[in-house]
């Protein structure tokens, strides 16, 4: 498993007007990240939780240490799928990932976790153990568009996420197109992520006339939209 690297992450809700202003500004000085096809790309994730919804309640109750598991792919391309563990520990967090096949993903969706019984990757071993011991199960699909920019110093990434939909029809994970209920009331979520420092000029670059700091959790919002 790769070495854990703690990162800072700040989120802001911004309007459609300021999304347009900010993307125009960022495109002039920063490169899009490696997943981009054109200006933006689609992301689809399937989140797992225990039968008691521990990850959901950890977030709702504001616990300092939280973790959640998901499988994810990009741009409707099921040839590259990752299992990810995302951890939040106080003000910082980290993410670990391991590649899985579509057949494995299909079995996980059906709660046939023994497909990971002989996995060699430590993250897959951990997920398998927790699925068995904590009765993990797939809960909600989150689909959205992202425009993302990368800057080497500080390992800085700026992402703008929009057009989020959520569905509890987990068997539809590999269906084409948008599925589920669209997130109302939020045009765009700006996220600024970096390791040890954020370059000052980047900090100035992402300022808009109205940003609302948020603890926006796609997983929790997706559960709310589908009434838990």
Give dist(CA 178, CA 223) in Å, integer.
17
How far, CA to CA in Å, does 30 sit from each of 7, 164, 188, 196? Answer: 20, 24, 19, 20
pTM of this prediction? Answer: 0.94
Instruction: Measure the CA–CA gap between 129 and 134, rounded to whole angstroms.
Output: 8
Q: In angstroms, rounded to a whole number, what is the distance separating the alpha carbons of residues 145 and 157?
A: 16
Question: Which residue from 147, 180, 149 is spatially nearest to 166, judged by alpha carbons?
Answer: 180
For residues 84 and 76, give the distance between their C-alpha atoms in angstroms, rounded to a whole number: 18
* Structural domains for the chain: 8-226 (3.20.100.30)
Residue reference for tokens 């398998």: 128
Assess contact for 5 and 94: CB atoms under 8 A: yes
Q: What is the pLDDT along the chain (228 residues), one digit of tens a residue?
A: 557 889 999 999 999 999 999 999 999 999 998 877 789 999 999 999 999 999 999 999 999 999 999 999 999 999 999 999 999 998 899 999 999 999 999 999 999 999 999 999 999 999 999 999 999 999 999 999 999 999 998 899 999 999 999 999 999 999 987 889 999 989 999 999 999 899 999 989 998 776 667 778 999 999 999 886
pLDDT, position 14: 92
Residues 191 and 210 sit within 8 Å (Cβ to Cβ): no
């Amino acid at each position: 498993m790769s070495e854990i690297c703690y990162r800072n992450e700040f989120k802001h809700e911004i309007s459609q007007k300021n999304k347009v202003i900010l993307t125009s500004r960022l495109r002039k000085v920063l490169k899009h990240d490696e997943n981009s096809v054109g200006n933006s790309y689609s992301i689809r994730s399937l989140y797992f939780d225990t039968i008691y919804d521990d990850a959901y309640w950890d977030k709702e109750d504001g616990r300092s240490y939280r973790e959640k598991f998901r499988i994810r792919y990009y741009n409707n391309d099921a040839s590259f799928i990752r299992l990810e563990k995302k951890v939040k520990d106080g003000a910082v967090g980290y993410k670990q990932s391991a590649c899985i096949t579509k057949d494995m993903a299909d079995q996980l969706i059906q709660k046939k976790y023994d497909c990971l019984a002989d996995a060699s990757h430590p993250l897959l071993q951990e997920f398998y153990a927790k699925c068995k011991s904590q009765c993990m199960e797939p809960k909600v699909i989150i689909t959205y568009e992202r425009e993302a920019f990368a800057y080497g110093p500080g390992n800085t990434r700026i992402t703008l996420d929009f057009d989020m939909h959520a569905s509890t029809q987990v068997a539809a994970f590999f269906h084409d197109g948008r599925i589920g209920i669209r997130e109302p009331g939020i045009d765009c979520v700006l996220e600024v992520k970096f390791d040890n420092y954020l370059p000052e000029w980047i900090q100035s670059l992402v300022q808009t006339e109205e940003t609302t700091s948020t603890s926006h959790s796609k997983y929790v919002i997706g559960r709310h939209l589908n009434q838990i």
